[in-house]
Each structure stands twice: as C-alpha cells, then as structure tokens.
Structure 1
Amino acid sequence: MTEAISKQGPAGRDLSRRNMLLGAVLAGASAFAFVRQPAVANPVVPEKQFNKWVPEQFGPWKTVSQSGVVLPPPDTLRDRLYDNLVTRVFVAPDRPPVMLLLAYNNAQDGVLQVHRPEFCYPVGGFVLSDTRDITLAASGRAVPANIFTATAPNRIEQVAYFTRLGAAFPRKWSEQRAAVIRANLAGDIPDGMMMRVSALGIDQREAQPLLTDFSRQFIESTNPKMQRLLLG
C-alpha cells in the first residue's frame, strides 16, 4: 500500500504543475485581451456645442422650422444610440423645402449602432422603394450615399443619406457591421455620423440633384469641426 501511494505522488505533482501552468497561460491571455480591448476613439460632443455647429443659413437656404422631420423610433435605445440628434427644415427661393436630420454618436461598439433610414421609415408606416446608390461631392470628397422614395397615405418623401463609421461610409447594414468589426479588431471603437436630407412633393429624378446640391452646400458651409464629424 505504501509503495502504491509513493508511485502516485510524482504523477499528482506533475498534474498540479500542469494545472498551474495552464492557469498562468489563461491569466496571461486574459490580461492581454484586457490590454487589447477596443478603446473609444472620440469624445462625446456636448449637445449645445453640436447645435452651434449647424448653420442656420447658408447660400440661399435658411432655417424655418425644427419640426416635420421623420425621426428614429422612440424606443428604449434611442437615447443611447445618439449623443446628438438635430433636425431642421430649410427653404430657398423657387425650390422645395429640404428637411435635414443629423445623428451622431461617439461610440459604435457593434451592439449599439446608428439606425439606418430604411429601418426608421417603415416603423412610421411608410412603404419604401428600392434603395439606389448615389454619390455626394463635397469639400473635394466623393461620399458614397443612398436614395429612396418613402410613401405613406398622405406623404411621398424623397430621401437621401449617408453614414460614416470611423473612416468608412457603408451603404448597407452588412457593410456597417463589417466596418465596426474591422475598427474593433484594430483596437478602436469608431464614432458614427448620419446625414439625411429629404423633400416632399417631387419625384426622385427631380429630388436627386436638389438633395445632393443642398448637401454639398451644407457640408461646405459648416465649420471644420462639423465637417470632421461629417466626413471624417
């Protein structure tokens, strides 16, 4: 009996050493993962400061209202999705009014991400056309964007928008998620910006040049800090 116990002793000590070594490896991996976890790359922009960066007038356009714009659904996540949410209605001589929505969040972490308009409008009872790819030109940049028609019983709205996540301008939800994942793998939690412009009472052929030109003038008229949020 004594001999059997003595033979088992070294094996038990080897097992104990293996367990200790495994524990050390796991602890090191956890510490490495903690050090490498993504960091928020951009600070929160105070609401009053963000609002001041939105021009009340530029070119022939001037603000007449802050209402009438279709908003993201008032769910429990909205306050967490957006640090800043601004709406404006602009008018100019001999042109249809243009509605503007700006939504910004300093941290897009893969769980909370900017709602795309294709999600917001159906919640409000709209039926959407197919989304088409367009390009917005502003400040020497070619910005990938989308346009679609939203139809409700008493309202037909032409909608153009773009989203920026970090350095990416995703046109689709899948591209948006991929942009967040790439940034997270690089060690960053990117910020997210959406600019949406829309007009009523016109068809999409007429709306596209109106909305793209409005967007160009708006972006180029904002101060450098707002331009950085819009264009990265």
Structure 2
Amino acid sequence: MAEGHRPSASELSRRNMLLGAVLAGASGFAFMRQPAIAHPVVPEKDFESWVPPKFGDWKTVSQSGVVLPPPDTLRDRLYDNLVTRVYEAPNLPPVMLLLAYNNAQDGVLQVHRPEVCYPVGGFELSTTREIAFKASGQTVPANMFTATAPGRVEQVAYFTRLGTAYPRRWIEQRAAVMRANLAGEIPDGMMMRVSALGIDQAEAQPLLAGFASKFIESSNLRMQRLLLGPDSRG
C-alpha cells in the first residue's frame, strides 16, 4: 500500500505563511472593531464649577446629609465625578441633589443605581415607579421610590443616561452599553438623583420634577450636555 503524500518544507512554509496572514487579518479586524472611549475625562474642579450654587429661588445650603453610593473598593473607579448638594427655596422642602458621572461605562464598571445604594444604608424601598422629567424641550425617562429607615422617610427620583439611552432598569442599562459597544463606542454615564424628606410621594413628585427641570435649564451648556447627552441643545 502506497504511503500518503508528505508535504515538503516549502509547502509547509507556504501553509504557515498563509495561516499567519489569515490570523493577522482577523486580529487586525478585531482590533479595528474594538470599542473606543467616546468621551474624555472631566476634571473634578471643572465638574464642580458647572454645578450652579443658586438658580431661580433655590440656593445651596450644604454639601452633607445626602445618602452616598456604597463605599466599596470600586467607587473611585465607578465615578470620575461625584457631587452632592442640598438646596433650599422659600416655603418649599429642601431638596438633596447627587450628580455622578463617569466617562467610560464599559459593561463591568457602571454607575450604581439608587436601588442599590439605599438598602446598603439600611433603608427599605417601596416599589419603583416610572415618571419623567421635562427640561430644555426634552422628556427624560426617570424613576421614583420611597426609602424608609428609622427616623427618616425620603422620596427619591432619578434618571440615568448612558450614551444616548435613558435606561430605567439594570438590564436596560446593560443593554445600552452593549448597543454602544457594537457601534464601536464605550459610552459615558451620568446619573442625576434628587430627593426630599418628610413629605409623601404625591407632594414630592412635582417638587422634585420641577427642581430637576430648573436645575438642568439653569446649568451651563457643558453640564446640560452631560445630563441630557451630546445632542442636547441646552
């Protein structure tokens, strides 16, 4: 029985060269398709300077008293920028504000949603309701819930922007990151959270929605773009 053909050294060399070219081409294609960070880091001092100390009848009275995200080992990586303020206006309950921004939401590191932060602080949460904020001609999908702890009842409303999406749920947030990645981008992420103490949801919703609208519209164009996205006209 005849032996099978054994490739010569030159044939093996040509095969190896062809295989190497194919692998190199695939590697280069994968590199070109790798998502790129779409937005630069915002310096901390710049971000803080874009938060208006007063607007309309509202003025800053404190930077403390706001429930913060859990102090885990990832917090410094989760947020390039984290600002808290307490505002007061005549004849209205004080409003607490938290702004959190990160220029790169890569699917692993993503902004914490308030439904994560409050239970870590010992709060029990009501069912989250879907609401909306209106600002600068846009309608922004938002969420609202009541957080209860001994001696404290807090009405909380917030929205999260990832790239051009406003996900209301964690799974929607993950999906927004995946869609941006498939389009070749690593999106930025922004969360605005507003809250008030000692009132019920019926009173809190118009208060917080009105505060958020006035805050956004009174902010400079750079902050408006972080809150509403790069296509906002501010």
Which TM-score bucket, shorter chain as reference? over 0.9
Structure 2 length normalisation: TM-score? 0.93
Which residue is 1:134 aligned to?
131
Q: In the alignment, does 2:64 pair up with 1:67?
A: yes
Distance in 2 of aligned mates of 1:126 and 1:39? 38
Which residue is 2:111 aligned to?
114
Residue 87 (structure 2) aligned to one of 76, 90, 103: 90
Q: In the alignment, does 2:163 pair up with 1:166?
A: yes
Which residue is 1:205 aligned to?
202
Gapped regions of structure 1 (runs ≥ 5):
none
Residue 150 (structure 1) aligned to one of 147, 152, 157: 147
Gapped regions of structure 2 (runs ≥ 5):
230-234
Which region of structure 1 is more displaced relative to structure 2, 19-28 or 119-128? 19-28
Structure 1 residue 11 displacement after superposition: 7.8
Structure 1 residue 44 displacement after superposition: 0.6
Which residue is 2:185 aligned to?
188
Q: In the alignment, does 2:23 pair up with 1:22?
A: no
| Equivalent position SS for 2:69 | coil
Distance in 2 of aligned mates of 1:132 and 1:14? 68
Distance in 1 of aligned mates of 2:203 and 2:105? 34
Q: In the alignment, does 2:218 pair up with 1:221?
A: yes
Bigger helix fraction:
1
Which residue is 2:232 aligned to?
none
In structure 1, what residue type is equivalent to 2:194?
A: V
RMSD (Å) for aligned C-alpha atoms = 1.8
Structure 1 residue 26 displacement after superposition: 2.0
Structure 1 residue 141 displacement after superposition: 0.2
Structure 1 length normalisation: TM-score? 0.94
Structure 1 residue 224 displacement after superposition: 0.4
Distance in 2 of aligned mates of 1:12 and 1:172? 60
What is the number of equivalent residue pairs in this alignment?
A: 229
| Equivalent position SS for 2:94 | strand
Q: How many percent identity over aligned positions?
A: 78
In structure 2, what residue type is equivalent to 1:67?
A: S
Structure 1 residue 34 displacement after superposition: 0.9
Distance in 2 of aligned mates of 1:63 and 1:9? 83
Deviations 1:192-225 (A, max 9, x none): 0000000000011110000000000000000000
Structure 1 or 2, whichever has the larger Rg, is 1
Structure 1 residue 25 displacement after superposition: 1.6
Distance in 2 of aligned mates of 1:122 and 1:10? 68
